[in-house]
Chains A and B, each alone.
Chain A
Amino acid sequence: MKALVCVKRVIDYNVKPRVKADGTGVDLANVKMSMNPFDEIAVEEAIRLKEKGVVTEIVAVSVGPAKAQETLRTALAMGADRAILVVSEDEVEPLAVAKIIKAVADEEQPGLIITGKQAIDDDANQVGQMVAALLGRPQGTFANEIAVEGDSIVVKREIDGGLETVKLALPAIVTTDLRLNEPRYASLPNIMKAKSKPLATKAPADYGVDIAPRLKTLKVTEPPVRSAGIKVPDVDALVAKLKEMGVA
């Protein structure tokens, strides 16, 4: 079966974001960008399924600016077979992204769609669930372990109290949690090879999707700053502080 993996170009997770002085957003000029960490896990899982012989072809898809091509090349270097970039220089909200992914899925007919559980920029945690709803297919969110068994997939999910296991009829949508796997690094030869793998460029209009935002961002501000703390010299001083606060 074919696997569709959705990847997003986001600010690198090690960078501390800076809010723009005019309050319109976060300053992304000259900031290091990378593949969303959860999406790396999604790509890795698709590759492992291919290595097991479960998946025959991996198509990586991204909705984003022209530069998201780099993110798709990374997915190709890791092991994806081909890529589709749906270009929009404007930010696209999860609902519109989900509609585009749905349209791509209608064309490609994947047996499995894998996406990260959330992007570390908007922290929305919506796209996978929305794609599942639009396709009318089951969802295995926050996956910790997956196993394809015939025409279904067993997904162990990370939930608040621990883990739960569900069985989903294929085609299905899986969103990855951190502990699903350890993504591999792309080797230099594979990075070179990835340059010649097919990458199709499309526009939202090609899929008939309206990307006009439904949410208006009125402003973006810095979170409240915590007042400076103190350092205590020893345990006795800490105990005294705890007693002062009434917790000990």
Chain B
Amino acid sequence: MSKTLVWVEHDNASIKDATLAVVTAAAQIGEVTALVAGAGCDGAAAAAAQIAGVSKVLKADDAAYANALAENVAPLVAGLMADYDAFVAPATTTGKNIAPRVAALLDVMQVSDILSVEGPKTFTRPIYAGNAIATVESTDAKLVVTVRGTAFAKADATGGAAAVETVAAAGDSGTSTFLGSEIAKSERPELTSAKIIVSGGRALKDAETFQSVITPLADKLGAGIGASRAAVDAGYVPNDYQVGQTGKIVAPEVYIAVGISGAIQHLAGMKDSKTIIAINKDEDAPIFQVADIGLVGDLFTLVPELTGKL
């Protein structure tokens, strides 16, 4: 049976949701060992050990891994891969940053953003902004795979009882330094795991209008808030709100697109949502071709009315 090494995304204390879907995908390839690399990451390692389906946890605790800098983490992973057949990481910005660097160090072609595991080395993945699905088979000796979180069920975060083993650090490359981060504070459900998302587009006019129209509806529904690229570029909301080919890929139960025309690049990020609802004044907007429920009209009257009636 193949042995897989799973990249655990965490904040040193707890693991992030993205990891759970990766464990599900990795378990379809082979036995799962979770790698927790960080600084002071005992909490995350303990949490990883409880994920159902994880048979072992490797903990690499070193200051060099504090911020998951690819220059430091990739050599660690590549070294550990002597004992594994596949490295599996989430297709988050962290996973996308690290995995190709690991793949190149191992001289293998990475399979990005897989949607399904079809065989020991065969996967499906979206290409052309999700307008086509390719089935690819790797001929490399080892696999490096990133996983689209919304395409796999999440493994149970509890129920497992894996042993935690400490592995030696590979040292600091000395070529990169973490200076700081600006993380958008939000009480809302995280976009990629939200059950309901209300998303706004260019038609919202400005940041204040976006807030006054979209936020009350999202509050009413307990929803995450998303945006089209146009709304982000116009400065209505920060860029981590962006849903699409180049932003976040989401697949909530309900996606409500308000004032979004439905460009190919936006659809790439949300068309796997279970139910899509579109509110737009342009009857011919492409969004209506994928929407399950459409409402044609002026969002500035319809959305407040909707919020009021919920």
Answer yes or no: are A and B bound together in one complex.
yes
In the bound complex, residues from chain B placing their C-beta under 8 Å from that of A218 are 122, 135-137
In the bound complex, residues from chain A placing their C-beta under 8 Å from that of B179 are 154, 165-167
A121–B108 alpha-carbon span in the complex (Å):
20
Interface hits, B116-164 → A, CB 8 Å = 122, 126-140
In the bound complex, residues from chain B placing their C-beta under 8 Å from that of A122 are 127
In the bound complex, residues from chain A placing their C-beta under 8 Å from that of B292 are 226-227, 229-230
Tell whether, in the assembled complex, residue A215 and residue B176 are in contact, meaning their CB atoms are under 8 Å apart.
no
- For the complex, count residues of A whose C-beta is within 8 A of B: 80
Tally A-B pairs: CB < 8 A. Answer: 248
Interface residues, chain B, with chain A CB atoms under 8 Å away: 67, 69-71, 74, 92-94, 96-105, 107-113, 122, 126-140, 173-184, 192, 196, 220-221, 229, 232-233, 238-240, 245-246, 248, 253-254, 264-265, 271, 275-277, 288, 290-296, 302, 305-306, 309-310
The verdict on A221 contacting B132 (CB below 8 Å), with A123-B112, A168-B176 known, is yes
* Chain B CB within 8 A of A16 CB: yes
The verdict on A242 contacting B310 (CB below 8 Å), with A159-B181, A177-B246, A214-B138 known, is yes
A123–B310 alpha-carbon span in the complex (Å):
39
In the bound complex, residues from chain A placing their C-beta under 8 Å from that of B127 are 26, 121-123, 220
* Chain B CB within 8 A of A62 CB: no
Tell whether, in the assembled complex, residue A229 and residue B176 are in contact, meaning their CB atoms are under 8 Å apart.
no
When each residue 30-64 of chain A gets 1 if its CB lies under 8 Å from chain B and 0 otherwise, what string results? 00000000100000000000000000000000000
Tell whether, in the assembled complex, residue A26 and residue B132 are in contact, meaning their CB atoms are under 8 Å apart.
yes
CB closest chain-B residue, reference A248: B310
The verdict on A220 contacting B294 (CB below 8 Å), with A123-B127, A160-B94, A162-B182 known, is no
Interface residues, chain A, with chain B CB atoms under 8 Å away: 11, 13-14, 16-17, 19, 26, 38, 93-95, 98, 117-118, 120-134, 137-139, 141-142, 144, 154, 157-169, 172, 177-179, 213-223, 226-227, 229-232, 234-236, 238-239, 241-242, 245, 247-248
